[in-house]
Amino acid sequence: QTTKGDGLSHKLPKGAIRPRPAPTVTDAPMTLAPPRTRLKTKSQNTLPFTAAEFFAGIGLVRLALEKQHWKVLWANDIDPDKAEMYHANFGKSDLVVGDIHKIPAAEIPDCTLYTASFPCNDLSIAGAMAGLSGKESSAFWGLIKILQDKGENRPPLVLLENVVGFLQFNGGKDL
């Protein structure tokens, strides 16, 4: 039996099962979402998906999401200088400038996705190496509290962006 149509042309051993091609986004079952919020594919005309952007900085994650037709409903950063650049790029309507630990979960809209590019100063080999309990990187726990407080209304998807040390620091015991 020869494989065809997947760019490979080699013989499979007798009785072998032909490998399935890798799934695409539209082929993948949408099992990450709780039953109340099934994610729908583009073919079901449900775009744009919605997002909230934590630790937004100047809005690079938002820029990428919007290029893929996502709608960012809410954003947050603690740094007023970064907020000024964010406002210049995206307007002032949805960026909340403040400490994540002081923002009530009820003030954050329900979305399909929460993104978080939390500070890596305490996790990077070039930084303080204080781990997730460090002054800057402990902001991660503020996000976790918001997710817990959202309960049934937390998003079905969460995207964390950080350095490798996030998972490796302290042998992964911080998580």
The torsion angles phi and psi of 9, rounded to 5 degrees, stand at: -140, 85
Does 111 qualify as catalytic in the annotation?
A: no
Question: Six-digit token pair at 16?
Answer: 């072998």
Catalytic position from the list 78, 116, 120, 146: 120
**Cis amide leading into 119 (omega within 30):** no
Pairing outcome for strands 50-54 and 95-97: unpaired
Query: How far apart, in Å, are the Cα atoms of 66 and each of 6, 8, 38, 60, 99?
Result: 32, 36, 21, 10, 25
The amino acid occupying position 88 is A
Where does residue 29 rank: exposed (0-12), middle (13-18), buried (19+ CB within 10 A)?
exposed
CA-based torsion, 115, 120, 125, 131: positive or negative? negative
**Active-site positions?**
120
